[in-house]
Structure 1
Amino acid sequence: MEDYTIGREAVAAKRRRYFYPCTQHFYRNAPQIVQGEMQYLYDENGKKYTDFFAGVSVVACGHCNPAITSATIAQLQRLQHTTTIYLTQPNVDLAERLAEILPGNLRRSFFVNSGSEANEGAMLLARRHTGRKGFIALESGLHGRTNLTMSVTGLPMWRTDPYLDPDVRFIRRPYDPELGSEEAAARSLADLERVLAEHGDSIAAMIAEPIQGNGGMIMPHESYFREAAELLRRHGALLIFDEIQTGFGRTGRMFAMEHFGVVPDIVSMAKALGNGVPVAAFAASDEVAASLNSPSASTFGGNPVSAITALAVLDYMADQRLPERAERLGAKLKEGLAGLKERYPGLIRDVRGAGLMLGAELGGAEAGEAAELTDEVLERMKDRGFIIGKNGTGRNVLAFQPPLILAEADIQDMLKTLDSVLAELA
């Protein structure tokens, strides 16, 4: 443990010296995190934090969950690495398990290492299947940091490549605080219909998060994706769901697509599937997957350690009924946040999301004030032992995406502490 407790100042100094300047952290006084145990984190001084961010929706089953890490360690000691050019059982068992839990006819999986890579593969598959190059994406979506995934990302702060793919057309997302959800959905669908009418013969697919995470926890009207899927089908374009943040119980369903009753042509998955171990995949039906038929491989994708870990994750989620737990605890958290919105209407503008993927949008009287307020809330909550996130187009949405195994008492303690912080800032 001593090797990893050099202290926050020394860690920060090494980051400044050896990391690229794009790598940043949330806090003015950031702790050095040295240990995790289920829903708790510990810094170099032994201070305990209740984690309400889960490494951006990753450790859904909790930090260092022994039911999962024991399987990982055993596989590390048995067989650490092969590639897909050899036969091993863990990755075919994982593919079989995903076929069992994925909705509809999504049956074939290609394993990779990260969400960006999964989305890149999904878009490659869409191009090969349709013979078309273009994509449609929603404003304020986030899909990755590779060239093509960054090209379909609609958040300006994440579009850092100056030479992005030009064959991407953005439409307004189905959300506007000035409109009702049905009207905002109708406006976005009108945009989609217009783009398809003008460019439909060149569009391979539309890619979208069922619930936008970094865009501010935006959940569209329940009819939106059904109508979008029908419009795409008429023009021979595919629908790709990016379930990287929303998948595996986070929203109160195993996959967020289940809230909308829509099965996409392709789905991408990552984050919670490995509970901290890198594993990702994109899945499709037999018909669509058949188009990815040229020789291909992934050096690390579906390696034995990642696959066994993911199987242990899925076992644990099923045994502990984590999607149902997320739905139940998420309702309590959302109710509590809504109560704080009533108490502090000048600070909290909106509470939204599903399951344990919730956001509380903060407001300020002047431009930039809301983002500064959000940073101050994060700092004070951290000082009181709670780690929460932030997102949104204005970086002013408090993000609550905790491990799904947290206790109701953790929620009540966090809400009580947030109440006191907001009272100080009101």
Structure 2
Amino acid sequence: MTATVPPYAGAGNLIYRAAHVPRFRRAEGSYLYAADGRRYLDAEAANGTVAWGYDKRILQDALAYCEDMPALPSFCESDLRLEVLQRLERLFGEANDTPGRVELDLGGAQGMETALRIAFSAVGPGTVVVFEGAFHGRSGVTSMLSSSPRYRELLAAWGLEVVRLPSPDCGRCPHSAARTPGCTSGCVAAATRWGSELSGVGGTGFNRKVSAFIFESVQNVGGMAEPDHVLLRAAVDHARRNGAVIIADEIFTGMHRTGPRWGFQRAGVTPDVVVASKALTNGAAALSAVWAREPLADPTTYRPGSHSSTYIGIPHALGVVRAVLDRWDGWADPAADMDGLADRMSARLRKLQAAHPDLVSDCRAFGGTARLVLTGDHAPALRQLCLTADSDAGLIVASTGMAPDVINIHPPLVINDPDLDVMTEVLDQALNALRETVEARP
């Protein structure tokens, strides 16, 4: 059953897919407040964007940076944009120990398309390799990269050739018969066999070759699955040997969401191009940043005018980024603090697993991200039960069509222990209600 869609609202978005759709009026800290007065703890952080919680001072600071210039004519420059670009490049370049250049775009999918433009400018258009379970957007191009065929039913860039490596999720990988954590030599071989005459995918000895390998350090939509580090390093090394540009999709995982500044640092890999977005604006503006090591985005390689957008230089979004970067610069040791947050979430989730062994098969937290693996495809139902739980607060968590047995948890990175206790209490109540629902089924 889905909610009644107002006659003036489009039905093609994701809002009205469930019976209970709260209408929010304000937000503060880690909570959203609905029109009926009920509060909801946001353990989804507005799809991972609200790293700093709901803090209206960010918008106030951003306005001070851009109020004298609310718009910028196309093909013009500003001191504000140059400052933001320079500060962003430092965040990327330091992690990769090499200089680069930063392009801006409007959102995650647009940033991924810009990354492909940069890669194709350098090595020529060709095949793109991704993992099963990948999600890189829903635009015509990025829907081809994303795993679910649902994203390609109405619009797709059919001319783009995409090859999918086996799932990096050990629970779903066909090469892990025991379904135990950790990759085997067979997993590595399966991810690095392309490029041969028999594989159907060209390597260095072929004119039609792989131009880009794209990966997520943690697959958000794929159920918070982290590729084994040995597997990921082998896949990156193989792609690089075959001349492919390595693109890290850090749209969700970037800026300490999984612990270090960038998720790829967990596996010890160095990409050629990095796409970031969500944590750069705290959800207050649409913007993505694409970093490319020199000389990939040099104007002699990636020519000026290769891409353009009316709102890429909009001062409002740049002001938001500057205000958010100010906060990141003031955080003494976010990586260590995220390790502490992971420990606190893990302790609570393990207690839930112990209390509900019939419903919870596994749990894991890394940084400000966690996964609660269920014993069946119960995640959509549990998500709704968290919203309507009989408690002082509702709880917002995530579930996806590609991993219906996993609850994704990624609260604001500034969440405190009392709020984590609220999260645990609501999850416990929702799991009890889920058990009643499951037991009542014929």
> TM exceeds 0.5?
yes
Residue 101 and residue 372 in structure 1: after superposition, are their counterparts in 2 closer, same or farther (change >3 A)? closer
Q: Which residue does 2:421 correspond to in 1?
A: 412
The answer (yes or no) to whether the contact 2:386–2:430 under 8 Å persists in 1 is no
5+ residue gaps, structure 2, are 172-177, 436-442
State the alpha-carbon separation in 2 of the partners of residues 123 and 317 from structure 1: 28
State the alpha-carbon separation in 1 of the partners of residues 47 and 428 from structure 2: 23
User: How much has 1:42 moved relative to structure 2?
Assistant: 0.6
| Higher alpha-carbon deviation: 269-278 or 352-361 | 352-361
Alignment of structure 1 residues 200-219 onto 2, 5 Å: 200=203, 201=206, 202-219=209-226
2:44 counterpart of 1:53 = yes
Alignment of structure 1 residues 62-211 onto 2, 5 Å: 62-66=53-57, 68-83=58-73, 85-102=75-92, 103-104=95-96, 105=98, 107-161=100-154, 163=156, 164-177=158-171, 178-183=178-183, 186-197=185-196, 198-200=201-203, 201=206, 202-211=209-218
Letter aligned with residue 379 of structure 1: L
| Higher alpha-carbon deviation: 412-421 or 283-292 | 412-421
Residue 154 and residue 327 in structure 1: after superposition, are their counterparts in 2 closer, same or farther (change >3 A)? same
2:22 counterpart of 1:31 = yes
User: How much has 1:95 moved relative to structure 2?
Assistant: 1.2
The answer (yes or no) to whether the contact 1:269–1:280 under 8 Å persists in 2 is yes
Residue 411 and residue 151 in structure 1: after superposition, are their counterparts in 2 closer, same or farther (change >3 A)? same
The answer (yes or no) to whether the contact 1:181–1:220 under 8 Å persists in 2 is no
Letter aligned with residue 192 of structure 1: A
| Higher alpha-carbon deviation: 138-147 or 170-179 | 170-179
Secondary structure in structure 1 of the residue aligned to 2:338: helix
Alpha-carbon deviations, 1:274-299, whole Å to 9, x = none? 11211111111111112211424332
Secondary structure in structure 1 of the residue aligned to 2:202: helix
The answer (yes or no) to whether the contact 1:112–1:281 under 8 Å persists in 2 is yes
2:303 counterpart of 1:293 = yes
Q: Which residue does 1:6 correspond to in 2?
A: none
Residue 371 and residue 420 in structure 1: after superposition, are their counterparts in 2 closer, same or farther (change >3 A)? closer
Residue 332 and residue 79 in structure 1: after superposition, are their counterparts in 2 closer, same or farther (change >3 A)? same
State the alpha-carbon separation in 1 of the partners of residues 382 and 195 from structure 2: 39
- Partner of residue 282 from structure 1, selected from 290, 297, 318: 290
What do you get for the CA RMSD once the two structures are aligned?
Answer: 2.2
2:271 counterpart of 1:264 = yes
Letter aligned with residue 100 of structure 1: R
The answer (yes or no) to whether the contact 1:329–1:355 under 8 Å persists in 2 is yes
State the alpha-carbon separation in 1 of the partners of residues 238 and 5 from structure 2: 52
- Partner of residue 351 from structure 2, selected from 339, 345, 370: 339
State the alpha-carbon separation in 2 of the partners of residues 334 and 302 from structure 1: 41
The answer (yes or no) to whether the contact 1:108–1:283 under 8 Å persists in 2 is yes
Residue 298 and residue 46 in structure 1: after superposition, are their counterparts in 2 closer, same or farther (change >3 A)? same
Q: Which residue does 1:3 correspond to in 2?
A: none
2:251 counterpart of 1:244 = yes
Q: Which residue does 1:4 correspond to in 2?
A: none
Alpha-carbon deviations, 1:44-82, whole Å to 9, x = none? 12222211111100111111341x111222234211111
- Partner of residue 372 from structure 2, selected from 360, 372, 375: 360
| Higher alpha-carbon deviation: 311-320 or 370-379 | 370-379
The answer (yes or no) to whether the contact 2:380–2:399 under 8 Å persists in 1 is no
Alpha-carbon deviations, 1:191-249, whole Å to 9, x = none? 33222224124110111111000100001222222222211111111111100010112
2:317 counterpart of 1:306 = yes
| Higher alpha-carbon deviation: 21-30 or 328-337 | 21-30
Letter aligned with residue 65 of structure 2: Q
Secondary structure in structure 1 of the residue aligned to 2:229: coil
Q: Which residue does 2:175 correspond to in 1?
A: none
User: How much has 1:114 moved relative to structure 2?
Assistant: 0.4
Identity %: 25
- Partner of residue 329 from structure 1, selected from 332, 337, 341: 341
Letter aligned with residue 295 of structure 2: E
Secondary structure in structure 1 of the residue aligned to 2:364: strand
The answer (yes or no) to whether the contact 1:41–1:50 under 8 Å persists in 2 is yes
State the alpha-carbon separation in 2 of the partners of residues 173 and 137 from structure 1: 10
Q: Which residue does 1:390 correspond to in 2?
A: 399
The answer (yes or no) to whether the contact 1:116–1:144 under 8 Å persists in 2 is yes
Q: Which residue does 1:253 correspond to in 2?
A: 260
The answer (yes or no) to whether the contact 1:325–1:404 under 8 Å persists in 2 is no
The answer (yes or no) to whether the contact 2:24–2:34 under 8 Å persists in 1 is yes
Secondary structure in structure 2 of the residue aligned to 1:194: coil
Larger proportion of helix: 1
TM-score norm. by structure 2 comes to 0.86
State the alpha-carbon separation in 2 of the partners of residues 372 and 207 from structure 1: 28
Letter aligned with residue 256 of structure 1: G
Residue 382 and residue 310 in structure 1: after superposition, are their counterparts in 2 closer, same or farther (change >3 A)? farther
User: How much has 1:374 moved relative to structure 2?
Assistant: 2.7
